[in-house]
Amino acid sequence: MILGLCCAKNSEAWIADALRTHLAVCDRVLFLDDGSTDKTGEIARSFERVDYWRQDGLPRNEARDRNRLFEKAHALRPEWCWWFDGDETLWRGTREDILNAPADANTLSTMLLDLWSDEGHYAADWSHPKLHIFRYLPDLCAGYQWQGRGPHGIHCGGRPRLDAYQKPERIIAIPIVELHWSWMTPAACAEKLRRYREWDPAFRSFRPYRRFERAPKDIRNLEEYIERGQHATKA
């Protein structure tokens, strides 16, 4: 089983496509709605293979939410787990890209392209590999923990902290590419920065996002990405 996991809030503009495209690869998706006030929850509940939970009135804490949602994954004992956000859609890739990974691979490197201006262009200088697909190892599942960064653990990475599991860690690059939709315009970036400054004024957990203070410089045509053979990025 490939199990998708998603925490989202107020993502109605993208959540249907995010779930639809990832369910083309994932067998099920566990979805945590962090108190949405739009139609995010209604849309998520409309998908047959999405298990939906909701929480309200809690301060932002990404590590807490990922740990809570992952507790629900243990009963399913998947082979692979894939974290994705509510504003990310799958653009290129198949189930076989994951299931055919070498037996000793425990983390898979994919690519996230930040769209810019419209759905046909991306910011090459903002786009980057992701390490959000990892193998579920039953003997070590109790040790899976996400550790937050910044005040109150408001942000964390896509993989759990697994010191024993990651020695050694073998990362394999696979030709899966996702598109990131919520930073497409200067106005959207300004709003993101406003929220991040509110949550973390010193940018202790969101330091990389300070790049949004300036527009990207390297804008490329999305179709050229495949033509250049860049779809299998190095880990």
Q: Residue 232 falls within a domain, yes or no?
A: no
Quote the Cα angle for 26-115-50, to 5°: 25
Determine the Cα–Cα distance for residues 203 and 193; give it in Å rounded to an integer. 10
What was the pLDDT predicted at 221?
Answer: 94
Residues 6+ apart with CB under 8 A from 110: 93, 129, 130, 132, 133, 173, 174, 176, 177, 178, 233
Q: Residue 22 falls within a domain, yes or no?
A: yes
What was the pLDDT predicted at 178?
Answer: 97
What was the pLDDT predicted at 147?
Answer: 67
What was the pLDDT predicted at 83?
Answer: 93
Q: Residue 132 falls within a domain, yes or no?
A: yes
Q: Residue 233 falls within a domain, yes or no?
A: no
Tell me the mean pLDDT per 10 residues along the chain, length 235. 96 97 98 96 98 91 86 91 96 96 92 94 91 82 62 64 58 95 89 79 65 85 76 45
Q: Please indicate, yes or no, whether the overall pTM of this predicted structure exceeds 0.75.
A: yes
Domain count, the chain: 1
What was the pLDDT predicted at 235?
Answer: 41
Residues 6+ apart with CB under 8 A from 212: 183, 189, 190, 192, 193
Q: Residue 235 falls within a domain, yes or no?
A: no
Residue 195 belongs to domain with CATH number:
3.90.550.10
Q: Are 116 and 219 in contact (CB under 8 A)?
A: yes
Domain region containing 199? 2-227
Q: Are 205 and 150 in contact (CB under 8 A)?
A: yes
Q: Residue 234 falls within a domain, yes or no?
A: no
